[in-house]
Structure 1
Amino acid sequence: MTTVDATYHALLARHDAMRLRRRLLSPAQGPADAAGARPAADSYDGVADQRLIVQTLELVAPLDELIAHLYDAMFTQWPFLRSLFPESMEFQRKHLEQAFRYLIENLHRPEEVTATFTRLGRDHRKLGVRPAHFRTFEVALCKALRRSAGPRWHDAMERAWLRMVRFAVAAMVEGAEAALGEPPAWQATVTSHEIRRPGLAVLRARPHEPYPYRAGQFASVASPLLPQAWRQYSLACAPRPDGELEFHVRLAGRGGVSEALVSRTRAGDTLRVGPADGPMTLDDELTRDVLLVAADTGWAAAKALLEELAAHHKDRRAVHLFLGARDASGLYGTESPAEMERRRPWLRVTPVIGEGPGADRYGPLADAVARHGDWSGHIAFVSGPPAMVGATVARLAGAHLPVSRIRHDPLPDGPLPAVAP
């Protein structure tokens, strides 16, 4: 971070510490929303707003232009807010569009929306977002709606959008308030950096404070080389006594976080790590056999789950791991499949090699899993690129494995990753 950014976040940390102290001394006071009151989730008529927004969506479409107008309005009126965002806004705009689409499609599920945005609120603390920023967001949104709709704009449409956003913001503020007892982000020193194959690095880092997480979860990571730019990576290990974390990072393009982590990070550098999140975790009482499906750096989450199974599930439920890769070099782990089985008698490993390019690049892996046997009695964990996850989840669901027992990495149309407001 720049000196200005560091000062800003230090002041926020001090303010949060004072608020936490007041809460501990006055526990009867609960968190409040951006307007100072906590709205009841069941009092919001999301169905009515959903209907109106969908009916009038064409008036403000396409959403990417609406979002461009929104940020133009925000940064024109409040230029100091620009420092809260990464230098390149492309990734940010895409995720805000995803957030809008998620809200519009799920307003009839208020409990799901509340849970999703509560998690986002906890995560957004690392960005330095405060309730006042949401109010500026509202003003910019209204300007963007009017600019996009032009003469077709009307008050009812604007009120529906504002109610939708305020409902989500209330959950975000609740999530941020509930997380006051933990750091907004953890500083971590890189202890090792290994290139396992061209364009893929394995990083280990030790947080300066205890970092709570569970095997199978992911975390946002930021490099000081790109202030305010965050990307999510699976934690590639179960919690360890020394607290060290492991991340597997594939180079996804030039000029982004992945390039900074793969090509420009060394042992001794400092990273920032956001709070852990994700549902792809093992139940405390594991009563079913386990199916793991991983491709590319999805191996990171599978590796963490295997460590957790070996260390804490003494009954050693049977585990079947499918590892997908284009060629043998894609199996970049330190052990061969045969060695993994030798060390873990309860594990069976099936490599699936030779996925080619094309629209159904991960079809062979999904097909191999579906053909192999009856998984309807298992609990499944699927990690890797969204195309592979989507294809495999569809095959498993079609093979009578209940969706409630398929846990997987986030999909583009699924629960949201962390996005800035």
Structure 2
Amino acid sequence: MIDADRLKKNWSLVAAHGNQVPLYFYSTLFLTHPETRDLFPMNMAAQRDKLVTALGAVVSNVDTIDAVVPTLQALGRDHRKFGALRGHYPAVGEALLATLEHFSGPHWTPAIAADWTAAYELVAATMADAADAAAHYTPSWWDAEVVAHDRRDLETAVITIDPGTRLDYLAGQSVSLCTSLRPRAWRQYSPANAPRTDGTIELHVRAVDGGEVSTALVSLLRPGDTLRVGPATGTALTLRPGSGRIAMIAGGTGVAPMKALIEQVAAAPRPTSLYWGARSPAGLYCLDQMRALAAHCDWLEVVPCVDEDLFGAGARVGAPADLAVAHGRCSGADVYLCGPAGMVEASRKHLAGAGVPPEAIHFEPSGA
């Protein structure tokens, strides 16, 4: 039987070594199994700690593994886009065990090694089984043509892609993208539309500092180019059933999944308020479109929010969550949050402090 408490304590000990852990892990993996190098982007800066941190966190919490089986299955299906095969999992496991042993030092014991091995094998089997099953009914990825690229400002573009066939997803989910401009570097984006009959997908992309993929998508991508698209993942922001009020709180391009949810709600209208924030009115890059949508839907309210409105653009001054609470829009509502990680966390705390029940607050955890 796996001792989950022992694994958690051991992982805390290892994780205390910080960036040394992923550096050792990848060095070990690539030296002992060089064929795995092609599964990862050329620039490892963004990738550096993601895999090993996720592995350690998930495997060490093996006592709650049943609760995350759906997530592990989704990860297994999604990882096919990297070219990950069942045969790669043992290589990753060996590198993980070597890393754990190295940083555990004298605390490493045969019992801990056996626990880690059993826990990893359980996680790996769950992911690999899901990937093998998915191979029978869905592609590993879709090659989608860029049919429109609308540069809204220096940092933001609205991109429309056509996968050529309908890609199954729910409003509020995310899809991962890879461009030949930045090979093997995948990033998550939420479609800004509910599924369409023609299969096209609208994406809102903001170039972030140091973001090689987002910068390429905004500045270098052109109509006619091709993007590789991975399967849809995540359910944190998908619409909950019911007929009650909905409050949406978004920052920047976090409005994209909200727009998709609004399109879904239109099929069975519910009172819905969107509080969308940016530093200035210029950051509300599709405000005219959202206002036009509200003008045609008597159940929809759109409230633009800014840090300062120097030119009288008609936006409310203040944080979206603060204003939504002050206006009474969150009381008794399902609340959906999306935006920069800091904004989401601050909004979540403000909502909780205002008495909004935790189960009514829906957001994608940072790093998910």
Normalized against structure 2, the TM-score is what?
A: 0.90
Q: Where does structure 1 lack aligned partners over 5 or more consecutive residues?
A: 1-43, 357-361, 417-421
- The answer to whether 1:114 aligns with 2:73 is no
Distance change in 2, residues 1:60/1:403 (3 Å): closer
Distance across 1 between alignment mates of 2:292 and 2:196? 22
Q: Deviations over 1:328-372 (max 9, x none)?
A: 01111152665343221111122221179xxxxx98333222222
Q: Distance in 2 between matches of 1:106 and 1:54?
A: 11
Residue in 1 that maps onto 2:22? 67
Structure 1 counterpart SS, 2:351? helix
CA-CA distance at 1:255 after TM superposition: 6.3
Aligned to 1:282: 239
Deviation at 1:104, TM superposition (A): 5.9
| One-letter amino acid of the counterpart of residue 320, structure 2 | L
Counterpart among 326, 331, 335 of residue 371 in structure 1: 326
The answer to whether the aligner puts 1:93 opposite 2:48 as a matched pair is yes
Q: In the superposition, relative to structure 1, how do residues 271 and 142 fare at CA in structure 2: closer, same or farther (>3 Å)?
A: same
Report the 3-state secondary structure (helix = DSSP H, G, I; strand = E; otherwise coil) of the residue aligned with 2:49. helix
Alignment of 1:137-148 (within 5 A): 137-148=92-103
SS state at 1:93 partner: coil
Matches within 5 A, 1:14-413: 45=2, 48-55=3-10, 57-58=12-13, 61-100=16-55, 102-103=57-58, 106-180=61-135, 181-254=137-210, 256-279=212-235, 280-283=237-240, 285-310=241-266, 312-313=267-268, 316-333=269-286, 335=288, 338-354=291-307, 364-373=319-328, 375-412=330-367
**Counterparts in 2 of 1:230 and 1:52: CA distance versus 1, 3 Å:** closer
How far residue 375 of structure 1 moved from its aligned partner, in angstroms, is: 2.5
Opposite residue 211 of structure 1, the aligned amino acid is L
Structure 2: runs of 5+ lacking an equivalent: 310-316
Paired with 1:396 and 1:164, the residues of 2 have a C-alpha distance of 37
CA distance in 1, matches of 2:279, 2:287: 18
Q: AA paired with 1:305?
A: L
Higher mean displacement: 59-68 or 132-141: 59-68
Q: Contact 2:14–2:21 at 8 Å: present in 1 too?
A: no
Cα contact 1:118–1:176 (8 A) shared by 2? yes
Structure 1 CA distance, aligned partners of 2:188 and 2:330? Answer: 29
Count matched residues: 359
Which secondary structure does the structure 1 equivalent of 2:43 belong to? coil
Report how far residue 260 of structure 1 moved: 1.6
Counterpart-to-counterpart distance in 1, 2:276 and 2:84: 39
Change (3 A) 1:113 1:387: same
Q: Structure 1 segments of 4 or more deviating over 6 A?
A: none
Shift of 1:126: 0.7
Question: Cα distance 1:197–1:101, how it changes in 2: closer, same or farther (>3 A)?
Answer: farther
Q: What is the CA–CA distance in structure 2 between the aligned matches of 1:397 and 1:368, rounded to whole Å?
A: 14
Q: 1:60 to 1:236 in 2, by over 3 A?
A: closer
Which is worse superposed, 113-122 or 96-105? 96-105
Cα distance in 2 for partners of 1:373, 1:344 equals 20
Take 1:363 and 1:351, find their aligned partners in 2: how far apart are those partners? 10
Structure-2 separation of matches of 1:177 and 1:382: 34
Change (3 A) 1:374 1:260: closer
SS in 2 for 1:109: helix
- Distance in 2, matches of 1:374 and 1:307, equals 20
